[in-house]
Amino acid sequence: MNRDEVLANAIDAMVNCDEKRALEIAEKAIAAGFDPVDILSEGFSVGIRKVGDLFGRGELFLPQLIQSAEIMKKVTGVFESVMTKEAAEKKGKMVIATVEGDVHDIGKGIVISLLRTQGIEVIDLGRDVKTEKIIEAALEVDADIIGTSALLSTTLAGQKKLEDELRKRGLRDRFKTMVGGAPCTQRWADKIGADAYGEDAADAVEKALALLGKG
């Protein structure tokens, strides 16, 4: 298979929640020497977004959404196990969380997997995380970057709250901050004072490396 065929099959496997086929495609892509980040971001990640769109339109149901998320975790695990061997040099440390009031974490999981493959140590705080907990964790592990995800327009305020609280505590210059999620934009990142905005998983990796001076 050429790259386009691999990507098309990866997308199709995700949309059809076909775990066996998805894992086979991942293994074949690795064996063929394709760029794992490219296959993940342009293939499987596109597929999982399509699943989300179909769910939003009522064409797929919650069990299928959950199943596709589990398949995505296994697929990223396959790639991660291969790529982390090539990323022995630790380039930095990042704390990442889905903001308070938001329980979505599929996209965040993809970003985390890709970040780890690039030698960035990621501490995942999970979803629905309070601002105070995010800051405490960043201080505890001496993080270089704090990343927050918001998948609902109603929870975007959590990203602004983090920026405001860091300034209030005199910690804003201690950490670089990144924001992401469906309702986020570069304009929003600029408005709240975040250092970077990741449009998708691949872009988030590029921005994180740039913030660490490794890009």
Domain harbouring 165, CATH code: 3.40.50.280
Structural domain for 66, as ranges: 3-86
Angle, CA of 42, 46 and 50, to the nearest 5°? 165
143 and 74 belong to one structural domain: no
Average pLDDT over residues 83-102: 81
E-state strands within the chain: 92-98, 120-124, 145-149, 176-180, 196-198
Which pLDDT value is given to residue 184?
95
Average pLDDT over residues 59-77: 86
The residue from 48, 70, 86 where one domain ends is 86
Q: Which of 4-13, 46-55, 160-169 has the lowest mean pLDDT?
A: 46-55
What's the pLDDT tens digit per position in 156-169? Answer: 999 999 999 999 99
Average pLDDT over residues 111-140: 91
Which pLDDT value is given to residue 117?
72
- Sequence-distant (6+) residues with CB within 8 A of 5 are none
Q: Which CATH number covers residue 34? A: 1.10.1240.10
Q: How far is it, in rounded angstroms, from Cα 159 to Cα 157? A: 5
Kind plus residue range of the DSSP H or E element containing 71: helix 62-83
Model confidence at 84, pLDDT cuts 50, 70, 90, reads: low
- Residue 193: pLDDT above 80? yes
What is the percent of the chain with per-residue pLDDT over 90, rounded to a whole number?
61
E-state strands within 45-160: 92-98, 120-124, 145-149
79 and 97 belong to one structural domain: no
**Taking Cα atoms as reference points, which of 6, 69, 56, 15 lies closest to residue 35?**
6
- Residue 89: pLDDT above 70? no
Q: What is the mean pLDDT of the chain?
A: 90
Number of domains comprising the chain? 2
Model confidence at 70, pLDDT cuts 50, 70, 90, reads: confident
Q: Which of 29-38, 75-84, 154-163, 198-207 has the highest mean pLDDT?
A: 154-163
**Taking Cα atoms as reference points, which of 20, 96, 14 lies closest to residue 54?**
14
Q: How far is it, in rounded angstroms, from Cα 42 to Cα 30? A: 15
82 and 184 belong to one structural domain: no
In this structure, the strands spanning 145-149 and 92-98 are: parallel
The DSSP output letter for 40 is I
The residue from 35, 59, 86 where one domain ends is 86
Average pLDDT over residues 81-88: 61
Which pLDDT value is given to residue 210?
95
Which pLDDT value is given to residue 99?
97
Which pLDDT value is given to residue 201?
78
> Cα-atom radius of gyration of the chain, to the nearest Å?
17
Which pLDDT value is given to residue 105?
78
Q: 23 or 103: whose pLDDT is higher?
A: 23
The residue from 52, 86, 120 where one domain ends is 86
